Amino acid sequence: MSKKYVYLFREGSSAMRDLLGGKGANLAEMTNIGLNVPPGFTVTTEACREYYDKAEQFPEGLWDQIVPAIREIEQASGKIFGDPDSTLLVSVRSGAKVSMPGMMDTILNLGLNDSTTDGLSRATNNERFAYDCYRRFIQMFGEVVLGIESYKFAAILENIKEEQDVSFDSELSPESLHGLVNKFKNLVRQETGSAFPEDPYQQLQQAIIAVFKSWNTQRAKIYRKFSNIADDIGTAVNIQAMVFGNMGQDSGTGVAFTRDPSTGERYLYGEFLMNAQGEDVVAGIRTPNPIVQLKGENSELYNQFSEIAASLETHYKNMQDIEFTIERGRLYILQTRNGKSTASASIRIAVELCQEGLITKEEAVKRIDPHQLGKLLHRRIDDDVDFDVLANGLPASPGAGSGKIILDSDLAEKLGTAGEKVILVRTETTPDDIHGVLVAQGILTSRGGMTSHAAVVARHMGKPAICGCEALRINYGTKKVYIDGEEFSEGSEITIDGGTGRVIRGIVPMKDPDLSPEFQTILEWADEIRTLKVMANADNSLDSTKAREFGAEGIGLCRTEHMFMEPTRLTIVQKMILAQTLEEREDALAALLPMQEEDFYGILKAMNTLPVTIRLLDPPLHEFLPNMEELLEDILTIKLTQDVEDRKIQEELYHKENLLRKVRALQEVNPMLGHRGCRLGITYPEIYAMQTRAIYLAAAKLIKEGYEVYPQVKIPLVVHFRELEILRQQTEEIARDVMEVQEVTIPIIIGTMIEMPRAALTADEIAPFADFFSFGTNDLTQAVFGFSRDDAEGKFLPHYLNSNILAENPFAVLDRTGVGKIMQYCVELARKTNPDLKVGICGEHGGDPSSIDFCQEINLNYISCSPFRVPIARLGAAQSAIKARDKE
Amino acid sequence: MSKKYVYLFREGSSAMRDLLGGKGANLAEMTNIGLNVPPGFTVTTEACREYYDKAEQFPEGLWDQIVPAIREIEQASGKIFGDPDSTLLVSVRSGAKVSMPGMMDTILNLGLNDSTTDGLSRATNNERFAYDCYRRFIQMFGEVVLGIESYKFAAILENIKEEQDVSFDSELSPESLHGLVNKFKNLVRQETGSAFPEDPYQQLQQAIIAVFKSWNTQRAKIYRKFSNIADDIGTAVNIQAMVFGNMGQDSGTGVAFTRDPSTGERYLYGEFLMNAQGEDVVAGIRTPNPIVQLKGENSELYNQFSEIAASLETHYKNMQDIEFTIERGRLYILQTRNGKSTASASIRIAVELCQEGLITKEEAVKRIDPHQLGKLLHRRIDDDVDFDVLANGLPASPGAGSGKIILDSDLAEKLGTAGEKVILVRTETTPDDIHGVLVAQGILTSRGGMTSHAAVVARHMGKPAICGCEALRINYGTKKVYIDGEEFSEGSEITIDGGTGRVIRGIVPMKDPDLSPEFQTILEWADEIRTLKVMANADNSLDSTKAREFGAEGIGLCRTEHMFMEPTRLTIVQKMILAQTLEEREDALAALLPMQEEDFYGILKAMNTLPVTIRLLDPPLHEFLPNMEELLEDILTIKLTQDVEDRKIQEELYHKENLLRKVRALQEVNPMLGHRGCRLGITYPEIYAMQTRAIYLAAAKLIKEGYEVYPQVKIPLVVHFRELEILRQQTEEIARDVMEVQEVTIPIIIGTMIEMPRAALTADEIAPFADFFSFGTNDLTQAVFGFSRDDAEGKFLPHYLNSNILAENPFAVLDRTGVGKIMQYCVELARKTNPDLKVGICGEHGGDPSSIDFCQEINLNYISCSPFRVPIARLGAAQSAIKARDKE
């Protein structure tokens, strides 16, 4: 006997998501808690996997289970599949374990053919309705199952509407719909070489296969990649009796959330359309009405729906996204699922659900997607500045974005990938636009509501979006956009504010975000839970203050090279580099010392009572000299166009050629692997000596002023223990000297970056000389992969990601297989010779949740990231701690 | 009770080298086999280590053991230490476990003071002799123990010689020597503030301390570094009764080898001087006579010495280097040790010792220093070319070298390190010249014999040397050299031929070496012993043929980029790179295909029956485009100086600017970590496809012609298994296509380079797609250390080596601690998923013996190196196999 591939709704439950998919499990759950769900059954995800495993053959034994299940629907609904006198129609929908809205295919009204349509017409006494269903079904089946291009159906429909001189589909007469059906059937014969299949069972089998196939469309693959969904879990197929929202003005369909998905506020939020099928709402083709209107139109129905919605939320302990249909006054629940919401709404919902006693603090913390938090920390439009609002639309996804108006997704992808900021402007978006949405700063559509495709996808991705902006007209042919009548060419710059729906001329200044009280609450809960310390990377007192506000427990990485780059100092730095003698160099360093001391003073003061880890100079010296190409041009131009006999010209030439010589001498083939980091500190000890002195002098001053400071010195790029041994000794000597002269006590804490494989591989030799290790995962990733980030991301890395050689950009998400392996090895090795060693990470990965999980797994002590990512890191660390605890 | 720090010669044996040092162990051994060795004892290396461990304090209890040992010498010699009536004098000599000729200090005639000198004078009835000893002793003790500079003594001596108008020391009258002694003693008082120590026991203690200290002089440290001797093993001190070669014309001293250290021929080879002390011979101050003259002068003594020499060789089973002294007609053996010889002599000696039945084949193979072999494979002067011989000297160390005449070692070091070729030209060399010798192409001295310092050191280092070139005069003041009267300035170019002793004007063409029959024999023995396969790196048929002659068992690395660089092809390659479309690129590739096919045809044919591993294109494409700086200059020059209205100028400008744009687009920040290797193969599959096709087409052609070919395709720079999976598939498809069309069968063998840490760390994922792994240890070292070789070696690496941060240049000697660790991990991981995987190494390390040892230890299958290093690798692999077997 073959496996059980088919589950009636009453046989399943919400625990069976893996097998039945999210939608199927929910339909089963709703059925079992007694809701009025149209009867149906689910074909399992296992059947889909079997289909792919067996080279796309319909799984053996599956059909034998489907036929009896159809019988069960017939019994429950009192209708017969294919019987003209009592026609059962069904929907066939995909439903993966994880929701992928709009990504896979759905077929409605399956079972219609010439005779059942006539039967339906007779039974409902509504020929218009029956033929409207029939023509929709042929088109949907034609597109999804038979692969006929959508525009071919649309063209026929437009033709007939023009012939009949009507604007809306619903104005077409039954006769016109008859004609439309015939033309559609002719199109099918023409395109496929066969007649449209009249046998409902044949329709059903083909439709199930089509859903299986829709798992592997290009757009579905891209979506899964973006959403980190595995490619091999497959989709279930849900077959369910149809109910009709388009059976006249006492019928309708709608979508509602139990809370506002934009703000998280608790009230019934949604939209409905009378005399319409669900697709009309979701696809954004007609703009629907707010659900509160239903109260006025039919308060009994509204109350009934409200109660169901509330009970579903209690049952699922989460905000629900519910689809419903009213067929001739009777309410059916078609689907419920955990609703997607904006980041700020998610937080409010999680906090309030916890406060309402539905979930625990841990559960609340787990619910927040740290990736989404980033959006809340983005800047928003500065309302104190004057700007020109061109139009208003629906505030479909909060946040603000500026960029060039771009009208098609391919171009948007091209420009966006190249680093340009674009706003994708479309009449409406479809799942085929996903690649354009992905790179855009925001989305602006002229049609569709708050639950249209553009709105749902944008909210999920945390992109600003404005939908249904009626003042917007687009001419794709001339590449012009008209906003409230004013013409804009493609490429003109606009700003959109998805929080308010304002479309604004040009680029508008933005300002820092405020964190909501709920945000603060969830972060406090996260702090209670997490075990990893969260520090920030900050190079000045301003950033340090910001980091502290965001909850950083110290500075994990303070880079000193930016201080060298300041225009007022660069001249001195260049003097130091160009020095011919040690004395000249020391003179320049002496001039830098008080400046550096001031820098460190500011940062240490801002972080009073917290540690500040200062990395000594890291980049190669040539980074502080002028660009060689420009120098060369200057020199050649002087030589070829000026009077080289002139004394002043000669002097200038001499100076520039001197500079060029030094630039050439310092030039490196591979600066990333060159004379930098502690290699500078070893060969020019006076540079590090100056920095060290500045650090301890600043600390001494603050201590005398009553502050509590913890400077930590971090030596970059160590690959051999001798480097650290030598530099640690120099650092300690200077620190002791300062303490003696200044008569203060400053804790001496010295550690090293682990950025090169050799440091990790010989961690046991290095650890005895270190108080802490700090993984520089950016450089480590570069060295382990042999990817120069500057080169890879512009050249071959996009290709590697697109062709699935790499699943993730290893500079964004830590590569556990390679980089992670050597990190884990390093930690284990190091703790063997120095059990008290503190180990952390200070690359950009420190703010990436999946990478934080890994840090927790290999027992690091802290993570350090940019100030704006500190809240994400706090939350991520809490989630990692929960996961680790759950594993135990 | 304290440790036993003192061993009488009769208490020791040759097995006690660690404790007694080489010299001490040999003196003990010689004493115990009944040779006439002056009595004495050895202070152990342990005492020296104790001295350094205890902050340079004379070890406790040592003195209490020395005094009774002196009593033993007194008893054996019948003389009393410090007794004017029967004076015992001793020598105090260093003697480490490993011989470091001339590197540490020696004191002779210790025990002399005013009264014992008088006693000696009376006892020998030779006042001149006694005072000659005394003045030598004061000078030696003054220099070595009291640290007075040598030239101060020399100046006093020269003064007296001038006053007396004599040329040689031996012509000085006893009275003059008396005066000299007084002047020397005054100098000592003046320089040290104290009188010269008259107490022999005080002299002895100070001398022993001085020998301990000599272990850590700068020159000793440099020598140890060059010779790979550990810094912490310490030296023993040998105290031995003096015998005198300068007791008149029936006394003498000499040094002899049991075989010719230049050629290995078996005959007594050496030099002696009558009426002289040993230092006169070794320091090269007087030019001695060939030992064969002794036969004429005193055949009985000569025969006695011959027999002793032969028995010592049989006893030690090795060529001996023997020092002897004749005191009033009686022969004493002062020292014997295994003689150093040239590489070719070592080989002949080892082979002949084996053929004489003294040692086994394994022992013979073990005896050869693979580092020295390299010298034999160097080119020598082409005698078919006319050249101008300026003078002849003693052929002190074979080989030929050309370079600039440089007169001092500091300058030689500076220029040599900067890459200039220099010949160090000196009157004589001393241990203080070691840094100059190290970098010179060869050494030329005007004084000293075949056993002078210059000769011994040069032979050891495998540098050409000519000594005792009497036609050479040097004026250090004017920096001029006169060869046979002709003036040469410092910096003039000469060539020296150390094999014949010819000094030649200018740079002379050189030619390839011939391998001696003994060399071939030892390599055959090595082949019988070794388990590692030895392959060669060769990029063309000429090099392949050379590699085969040298015994390579295949080509382990054939780089294809050099083929792209050939001037005739570069235009086509550039066309390919500049192609705007796939078609244009494929046109250019189609033009390259037959050329590449021809390349591979030649190499595969040359290696008939042996495997040829071809690496597909590796370097970034910008390497094939013109230099950006030059292009920029060209363009600017045209713009500023030419008529830009001219049509032709415009075209040229357009072309150059186009090129510049592409050069800029392809430019990389870190090309080593950029778009190269299989990253090119993945992004431009057509390039690798062309190369693959060319390989299999060439193979097919050869098979049809009756050859047996084994092409192997090597994919560079893999860091993720997917890269290899994709490129393996493409390679297999093309190979099968060629086989089908050409109707031949070619074995498909595909592997990858392991050059990046990630490849090693994920070897288990990669191995299933590979038939072989080939470590690219140069790139791997770069990535593990984060050292760009191009930058490191010119910038900070010399500093790292000089300050002992790194013991070795990791690009020359494999870094076991870091790079080795990851290699070992890789091999173990890879064989888990692919037990049949062949693993080898094809970096330069493949020809380095210590690295070969490591390859054996981690169970690699093969090593591949440049053709000229193949013999070294064959020998090294055999030695590694012996070591591995010995360990089991």
pLDDT exceeds cutoff 90 at B667: no
Considering only the beta carbons, identify the residue of B717, B788, B796 that sits closest to A669.
B788
Contacts of B640 in chain A (CB under 8 A): 636-637, 640-641
As a whole number, mean pLDDT of residues A52-74 equals: 93
User: Can you tell me whether residue A313 is helix, strand or coil?
Assistant: helix
| Minimum CA–CA partner of A628 in chain B | B629
Distance from A745 to chain B by nearest Cα, in Å? 32
Distance from B198 to chain A by nearest Cα, in Å? 45
Contacts of B796 in chain A (CB under 8 A): 675, 679, 682-683
Question: How confident is the model at residue A285, as a pLDDT?
Answer: 62
Q: Do B791 and A671 touch (CB under 8 A)?
A: yes
Distance from A669 to chain B by nearest Cα, in Å? 6
Q: Do B783 and A722 touch (CB under 8 A)?
A: no
DSSP string over B755-773: -SHHHHHTHHHHGGG-SEE
Considering only the beta carbons, identify the residue of B723, B796, B815 that sits closest to A675.
B796
Distance CA B713, CA B558 (A): 10
Q: Do A783 and B787 touch (CB under 8 A)?
A: no
Q: Do B817 and A636 touch (CB under 8 A)?
A: no
What are A267-321's pLDDT values in tens digits? Answer: 999 989 888 876 666 555 677 889 999 898 889 999 999 999 999 999 999 999 9
Q: Do B632 and A629 touch (CB under 8 A)?
A: yes
**pLDDT level of residue A150 (50, 70, 90 thresholds):** confident
Question: How confident is the model at residue B276, as a pLDDT?
Answer: 80
Question: How confident is the model at residue B682, as a pLDDT?
Answer: 94
Contacts of A729 in chain B (CB under 8 A): none
Q: Do B637 and A641 touch (CB under 8 A)?
A: no
| Minimum CA–CA partner of B787 in chain A | A673
Considering only the beta carbons, identify the residue of A757, A804, A821 that sits closest to B783.
A757
Considering only the beta carbons, identify the residue of A671, A755, A795 that sits closest to B674.
A795
> Phi-psi category of B361—alpha, beta or left, where left has phi over 0 and alpha has psi -120 to 50?
alpha
**pLDDT level of residue A590 (50, 70, 90 thresholds):** very high
CB B760 within 8 A of CB B822: yes
| Minimum CA–CA partner of A670 in chain B | B670
Q: Do A668 and B788 touch (CB under 8 A)?
A: yes
Catalytic residue among A453, A460, A622, A845: A453
Contacts of B683 in chain A (CB under 8 A): 795-796, 799
Q: Do B637 and A640 touch (CB under 8 A)?
A: yes
Share of chain B above pLDDT 90, in %: 57
pLDDT exceeds cutoff 90 at B74: yes
Question: How confident is the model at residue A282, as a pLDDT?
Answer: 57
Distance from B486 to chain A by nearest Cα, in Å? 40
pTM of the model: 0.73
**pLDDT level of residue A449 (50, 70, 90 thresholds):** confident
Which residue from A334, A477, A487, A467 is spatially nearest to A395, judged by alpha carbons? Answer: A467
How many CB pairs below 8 Å do chains A and B form together? 194
What are A613-637's pLDDT values in tens digits? Answer: 999 999 989 888 887 778 888 888 8
As a whole number, mean pLDDT of residues A55-62 equals: 91
> Which of B622, B761, B765, B777 is the best mutation test for A, with the most CBs of A within 10 A?
B761
Q: Do B637 and A637 touch (CB under 8 A)?
A: no
> Phi-psi category of A234—alpha, beta or left, where left has phi over 0 and alpha has psi -120 to 50?
left
Which residue from B740, B785, B764 is spatially nearest to B830, judged by alpha carbons? Answer: B764
As a whole number, mean pLDDT of residues B96-106 equals: 75
Using a 10 angstrom Cβ sphere, with 0-12 exposed, 13-18 middle and 19 or more buried, the burial of residue B473 is middle
The pair of structure tokens assigned to A301 is: 């129905």
Question: How confident is the model at residue B359, as a pLDDT?
Answer: 96
Considering only the beta carbons, identify the residue of A674, A815, A818 that sits closest to B788.
A674
**pLDDT level of residue A413 (50, 70, 90 thresholds):** confident
Q: Do B786 and A755 touch (CB under 8 A)?
A: yes
**pLDDT level of residue B158 (50, 70, 90 thresholds):** confident
As a whole number, mean pLDDT of residues B231-245 equals: 91
Q: Do B762 and A641 touch (CB under 8 A)?
A: no
Distance CA B338, CA B319 (A): 6
Q: Do A670 and B784 touch (CB under 8 A)?
A: no
CA distances from B338 to A496, B341, B344 (A): 88, 9, 16
For residue B493, the cross-strand partners are: B404
Q: Do A758 and B819 touch (CB under 8 A)?
A: yes
Q: Do A761 and B821 touch (CB under 8 A)?
A: yes
Question: How confident is the model at residue A664, as a pLDDT?
Answer: 80
Question: How confident is the model at residue B1, as a pLDDT?
Answer: 53
The residue behind tokens 């069904």 is: A90
**pLDDT level of residue B104 (50, 70, 90 thresholds):** low
Distance from B653 to chain A by nearest Cα, in Å? 16
Catalytic residue among A558, A842, A855, A865: A842
Q: Do A796 and B679 touch (CB under 8 A)?
A: yes
Question: How confident is the model at residue B103, as a pLDDT?
Answer: 63
| Minimum CA–CA partner of B717 in chain A | A786
**Distance linking the first and last C-alpha atoms of chain B:** 39
Contacts of B792 in chain A (CB under 8 A): 673-675
What are A431-445's pLDDT values in tens digits? Answer: 778 788 888 999 999
**pLDDT level of residue A468 (50, 70, 90 thresholds):** confident
Contacts of A632 in chain B (CB under 8 A): 629, 632-633
Rank B94-103, B166-175, B536-545 by mean pLDDT and report only the highest.
B536-545
Distance from B661 to chain A by nearest Cα, in Å? 14
pLDDT exceeds cutoff 70 at B102: no
CB contact set of B530 (below 8 Å; sequence gap of 6+): B874, B877, B878, B880, B881
CB B770 within 8 A of CB B793: no
Distance CA A244, CA A328 (A): 8
CB A613 within 8 A of CB A554: yes
Distance CA A589, CA A566 (A): 15
Question: How confident is the model at residue B500, as a pLDDT?
Answer: 85
Residue count of chain B: 888
Active site residues of B: 453, 842
Q: Do B788 and A629 touch (CB under 8 A)?
A: no
C-beta atoms surrounding A743 within 10 Å: 10
Rank A134-138, A156-160, A760-764, B544-548 by mean pLDDT and report only the highest.
A760-764
| Minimum CA–CA partner of B724 in chain A | A805
User: Can you tell me whether residue B858 is helix, strand or coil?
Assistant: coil
pLDDT exceeds cutoff 60 at B282: no
Contacts of A719 in chain B (CB under 8 A): 784-787, 818
> Which of A669, A752, A806, A809 is the best mutation test for B, with the most CBs of B within 10 A?
A669
CB contact set of B681 (below 8 Å; sequence gap of 6+): B616, B617, B687, B688, B715, B723, B727
Question: How confident is the model at residue B841, as a pLDDT?
Answer: 96
Contacts of A724 in chain B (CB under 8 A): none
Considering only the beta carbons, identify the residue of A673, A682, A818 that sits closest to B761.
A818
Distance CA A501, CA A394 (A): 5
What are A816-875's pLDDT values in tens digits? Answer: 999 999 999 999 999 999 999 999 999 778 888 899 999 999 999 999 998 878 999 999
Q: Do B786 and A799 touch (CB under 8 A)?
A: no
Strands A330-338 and A533-537: unpaired
Contacts of A758 in chain B (CB under 8 A): 784-786, 815, 818-819
Distance CA B343, CA B461 (A): 10
Mean pLDDT of chain A: 90
For residue A42, the cross-strand partners are: A7, A238
User: Can you tell me whether residue B852 is helix, strand or coil?
Assistant: helix
| Minimum CA–CA partner of B684 in chain A | A796
Distance from A760 to chain B by nearest Cα, in Å? 9
Contacts of A785 in chain B (CB under 8 A): 719, 756, 758
**pLDDT level of residue B151 (50, 70, 90 thresholds):** confident
Question: How confident is the model at residue A257, as a pLDDT?
Answer: 95
Question: How confident is the model at residue A721, as a pLDDT?
Answer: 96
Using a 10 angstrom Cβ sphere, with 0-12 exposed, 13-18 middle and 19 or more buried, the burial of residue B384 is exposed
